[in-house]
Structure formats: structure tokens, C-alpha cells
Chain A
């Protein structure tokens, strides 16, 4: 019975996203015939598929929702706020039901039950009764749209509905799409990766020894290979629209529940990034949004008292910069309270009371595990999950997060992420004659240490950068290789790295240069302490291990013993 469920699940989820988008559009600008039609088709499709798969409850709810929209098609004015609310709740319920069914299918169960399902179904059914009691709809709109084309095979109309939604939101652009098994795309991208490596090997080993003609052909080949690589990676790219649209719904719900008036402005929804990155971005964004609404944004009264417009504005935007994608979330709320954060941090023993911290360093304290300035755990941002989870996810995606905040005026979070997890910009480091790759995104600055800039005591090393003290990790020593810089740091270089909880310096012999590398998995069994996040094939065909900055620092601190660590 549930054999076809997987396909239905994906299709229905897509349709539901379209439904949410349409509902919110209707809520914003009022109902219009086109959007009501599209919405009707979404529910109709779900009903059809549910019937086909024998998912009775789901079908019943979709049918009830469809009936409300049927009314609306006859008379747009029947789409009153209460009904809109029911429709939104119905999409949520269907989504939950689908998830529960998916899990049940995986576990081999055939029965699913959701506690509040019947209640909602009854409400949706009840909503229609009064409308039916007055069947004479006198003010029928004159410009009634032509009846939609007969909605036959359900599976194709889901596509239509999704297309409709995409078209509306995308400003009239209809793109033809083809569904391809993800493993095929990954296989292709991997093969292209091999091609890129071999091409680099050929080019670098050929050098200047070739006839001009061959060199010219070789450079043409290089260009084509780079094009192919770019296109291959583009296959995995998805627009951020999906992630962003969920925020619309979230903000609406948060706004309802908190009683705060919030307007969400989205921009850059067409910016694309790797599908796996986009998926993992969802949770941190939800958390940041909840945080912003719960802690950042004031109530309408508070805002009026502060001379601000009563409706708060939250802006979520995405744009490309260099080889990265930037995602910014800013609110015009009360801003971060420097003193409150410092007090809390000192109280928790995270920093000393006499520490002189820059604004940025103070803001970054909120990323510390368990740090929360909320007076009480609220329903909205609760569950004790802190900003440290956001930071951790961003680190795992090899990105960075920055905060800017003005007290009383608002806060901006800026997440810088690589476009893909398959390729990174790396800095090639040389230590003890070996080469390692460090992700460029985690580098704050590089410097050549001067005598007196490094202090050692009891085996630990401290780096003094313009009056700021940072722990220093000796890469050669940590990796157990013979490094000149270990003996005399002034012969080497220091890379200042933005770690999970703090910045630290990494001492190395040489900075060889920047290189874009394709990330290869390494057998986790040979990398048990996680010092490396992968490996890259360098242009001479040798393997260069990719350093995992956070693990380097943790490992170094652990080796020295917690007592000597500067970190809390």
C-alpha cells in the first residue's frame, strides 16, 4: 500500500511549500482568482494522491480544505481570516501527517495517529456550514475567471501547481526541470573532479617544454575543463527560495504567538548554493529567526515608546561575494546589550572581569555553548538550544558567522559560506617539508612573528597580536614533524584562525600559496582524532590533507591539559 509513498511524499511536500507561499501571498495582498485556483489545485492534487495511496485521513483533510477553496473560487470574499488560518493549519497538519507516515513506513508500521488531527478536521468541516446555510451568493464577482482545465491525472497536476507557484514568485520565469537521481549527479561531479585533477597534473608536468600549438590546445582544454567543473557543480545548486519561504511562515507564526508585529523582507532568494548546504542552513536560520523575534524585537508598545514604528522589520537577504555566499539576517529591534552579555559571561566564568574586549569579541560570547541571556526559557526560542549550535553548524559547513549590533537599533548576523562543500579555497601551508591545506574562510590574518611576540610558559605558547593574547598552536609539534619554526618561530609564519570558541594562532614554516582544491573524503579510520576534514589532490598529483582548525586547537589544548588552556 505504501510502496509508492516515497514519491508521493516528495511531491506533496513540494505542493505544500507552494500552498504556504500562496496562502501568505493571499494574506498579504488579498485573495485573487489566480492564486485561489492554484491553491485549489494543490489541495486537489494531494487529495487525489492520498486517495490513490489509501491514506484516508489525509485525503479527508485535503478534501475539507479543498471545499473551503471551492467556495472561494465562487466568491473570493468567503476567504475570511478564520478560514485562511484553518488552511494554513491544514498545510502544517498534512506536513506532519506525511512525516509521521514516512517514519511509520520506514519502521514497517501501517498505522499513524496524530492527536489533534480530528479536532482540526472537524474545525475545517465546521467552517463551511454557515456559508452553506446562505447559499444565495448575491455579490458574485463579475470577472469570474474561466474554469480551470479539467484536473485529471493527479501526478501531473502537482507539477502544474508547483510550476504555478514558482512562476508567480519568480516573476514570470518558468523553468523546465528534470528530476535526476542525486547519486547520478554526484557520480558525474566526482568524475569531473578527477578530470580536473588529471588536467592540472598534465598542465603542471608539461611546463614550457611543449610546442606552442600543443600548449595552446592544452590551455583550451583547461578552459573547457574549468567550464565543465563549474557546470557540474551548478547541477547541485538550488536557489535559497525554499529555505527562505519557510521563514515567511515561521515569522507569521512567531508574530501571532508573541503578539509582536513583524514584517519580513526577503531578498536574494534566487541566489544559489549547494543543495546539501542549503538543507543544513534551514535549522540555524530557524533558530536565529526565533532568537531575533524572542530577544531582539520589542513589543509594539515598547517600540512606540522608543520612537520606532510599531511594526518591526526583519530582513533576510542572500547575495554572492567573491566565491562565497553571504546570508544576512538583520532586525531593527533592541540590539545586543553589551553590559548584559559581559555580566553574564563574567558570571559564568567565560571571561575575566578585567578583560578588555572589543565589541566584536563581546558579541561572539553569545556563541559560547550554554550562553543565553534570556531571563527564562520561552516557548518560542526555548529548549535550551543556544547560538552555539548555529555557530557549530556554520563551522561544520566551513563558513563564518559575524555579528554587528547597535544597542537600541538592531542586530545583524552575517553568515559567510562557501558555495559548495565539494571545493574550497585553501591556503597551502608547508611544515617540516610536508604540505597541508587550510580553508581560507577560517583565516583571519597571517603574520610573521617578531621576537617577543610569542610568550611561553610551562609548555603553552601565547601569541600577542596588537595587545590581544591568543593561544598559539605549533603545527609542526602537534603533527609530530620536524619544523624549523618550532625551534625559532621568527623563521616561520603564523596564521590567525577563527575557531569555534575563540581565535588562535597556528605556527607553520611556510605559506606556499592559495589554491582552490576539490575535497576528497579520507577514510575516517585513519583520521580518528578528526584533525583533518578531508584531503585534496594537489596540482602535482600528491595528496594534501585538509586541516580541521577547530580540531587542531582542541587536540592541542587537550595535549597540554585543560589547566593550561586559555580557553574556558
Chain B
């Protein structure tokens, strides 16, 4: 961002999250770190790599690794369905990667005060930076930097 902003007001994007479903839970990632959402396509598996790397896909001529967050969280792998999509993230310290999700939901606005930093236990815990309260569910906010292939 090269332009200099005089006002101290935070950009509105800063509090917005792309939400998606893994099994019955709702997760979110900061919208600023989402590059795009692409439809599910045939993933070429990469042998002998981390189990949660499902493989690589051709994203307009670039080779993009795709991870399965459910395997990462110790759950059963994402089963492809009509709703399954790949969310392409660009974390700060890593190259772009795709995340397989069961269903992509909507963009939610959440003020920092509405997010509790209560630690989450379990295998997903290390990826969750905070928990937000939606009308009828909890939103687990994921840190793309931790989720990234490293």
C-alpha cells in the first residue's frame, strides 16, 4: 500500500472475514488475505509430502498447492461435493496456497471487541487466533500464516 493515509480510521476491510464451513463448524479468514475463490478441480496429488497437502492445481498457469484443513485439524478429509470450493489465500510470509472447504458462506463484519481471544483446545487450537460470536453460531478465526504450507 503505497498511498499515505492521513486519517487514523482503520480501513473497513480490516474487520471483515470470509467465512466457510468445515463439517458443521464455521471458520473465517481475514478478507485481506483472501486472493480468490475457485471451483473445485482435479487435484494432482504430490507423493511423499505432508498428509494434509492434497496436491497441486493449475491456477491460470501457476502451480498452486492445495491443503485440506480438516486433515490438519485431525478430522476426516474433505469429501468433494457440489459445494466444495478452494479458497486461495496469500499469507504474509508464505506463497499463495489453496484451502479446500466444504462450503463457502459469506463475508462477515466483526468488530475487534466482538472477538474473544479465548484459547481453543484441540488440534485446531494452534490455527485459531480468536473466536467471534455470530447470531446463532461461533466463528473460529484462522490465521493463514499458520495454516500455510511451511
Contact = CB atoms under 8 A, between A and B. Distances in A.
Interface of A: 190, 193-194, 197-198, 434, 478-481, 520-523, 525-529, 531-532, 535, 537, 541-545, 555
B149 interface: yes
Contacts of B56: 522, 526, 535, 543, 545
B35 to A, nearest CB: 15
A525 B44 contact: no
B148 to A, nearest CB: 8
B10 interface: no
Interface of B: 42, 44-50, 53, 55-58, 60-63, 65, 94-95, 97, 148-150
A526 B53 contact: yes
Given A525-B150, A526-B49, A543 B61 contact: no
A167 B62 CA distance: 42
A537 B49 contact: no
A523 B48 contact: no
A165 B57 CA distance: 49
Nearest to A198: B61
A543 B150 CA distance: 21
A481 B49 contact: no
A434 B45 CA distance: 9
29 contacts: A194-B61, A198-B61, A434-B44, A478-B47, A478-B48, A479-B48, A520-B62, A520-B63, A522-B56, A523-B95, A525-B65, A525-B94, A525-B148, A525-B149, A525-B150, A526-B46, A526-B65, A527-B46, A527-B49, A528-B49, A535-B56, A535-B63, A541-B58, A542-B42, A543-B55, A543-B58, A543-B63, A545-B56, A555-B48
Nearest to A523: B65
A228 to B, nearest CB: 15
A522 B57 CA distance: 11
Given A520-B61, A523-B149, A526-B53, A543 B47 contact: no
Given A523-B95, A523-B97, A535-B56, A480 B47 contact: yes
* Residue in B42, B57, B60, B63 whose Cβ sees the most chain A Cβ within 10 Å: B63
Contacts of A480: 47-48
Given A523-B95, A525-B150, A543-B56, A193 B61 contact: yes
A525 B148 CA distance: 9
A532 B46 contact: yes
Contacts of B150: 525
Given A522-B63, A523-B97, 18 more contacts: A190-B61, A194-B61, A197-B61, A434-B45, A480-B48, A481-B47, A522-B56, A526-B49, A526-B53, A526-B65, A526-B149, A527-B49, A531-B48, A537-B63, A542-B58, A543-B57, A545-B46, A545-B56
A521 B48 contact: no
Nearest to B46: A526
A531 B149 contact: no
Given A194-B61, A520-B62, A535-B63, A542 B44 contact: yes
A531 B94 CA distance: 21
9 interchain residue pairs of minimum CB distance? A194-B61, A479-B47, A525-B149, A543-B44, A535-B63, A520-B63, A526-B65, A523-B65, A543-B56
B83 to A, nearest CB: 23
Contacts of B94: 525
Contacts of A544: 44
A471 to B, nearest CB: 19
Contacts of A197: 58, 61
A204 to B, nearest CB: 14
Contacts of B47: 478-481, 531
Contacts of A543: 44, 55-58, 63
Contacts of B65: 522-523, 525-526
Contacts of A522: 46, 56, 63, 65
Nearest to B150: A525
* Residue in B45, B46, B53 whose Cβ sees the most chain A Cβ within 10 Å: B46
Contacts of B49: 526-528
A197 B62 CA distance: 10
A540 to B, nearest CB: 9
A326 to B, nearest CB: 31
B90 to A, nearest CB: 12
A52 B56 CA distance: 53
* Residue in B55, B62, B148, B150 whose Cβ sees the most chain A Cβ within 10 Å: B62
Contacts of B149: 523, 525-526
Nearest to A528: B49
B120 to A, nearest CB: 25
A176 to B, nearest CB: 32
B145 to A, nearest CB: 13
Contacts of A531: 47-48
A481 B53 CA distance: 16
A514 to B, nearest CB: 20
A51 B47 CA distance: 59
A479 B94 CA distance: 26
Contacts of B57: 543
Contacts of A198: 61
A193 to B, nearest CB: 6
A545 B44 contact: yes
Nearest to B47: A479
A117 to B, nearest CB: 44
A409 B101 CA distance: 68
Nearest to A519: B63
B50 A537 contact: no
* Residue in B47, B50, B56, B150 whose Cβ sees the most chain A Cβ within 10 Å: B47
Contacts of A523: 63, 65, 95, 97, 149
Nearest to A431: B47
Contacts of B60: 194
B61 A521 contact: no
Nearest to B95: A523
Nearest to A191: B61
Contacts of A481: 47
Nearest to A543: B44
* Residue in A190, A197, A523, A527 whose Cβ sees the most chain B Cβ within 10 Å: A523
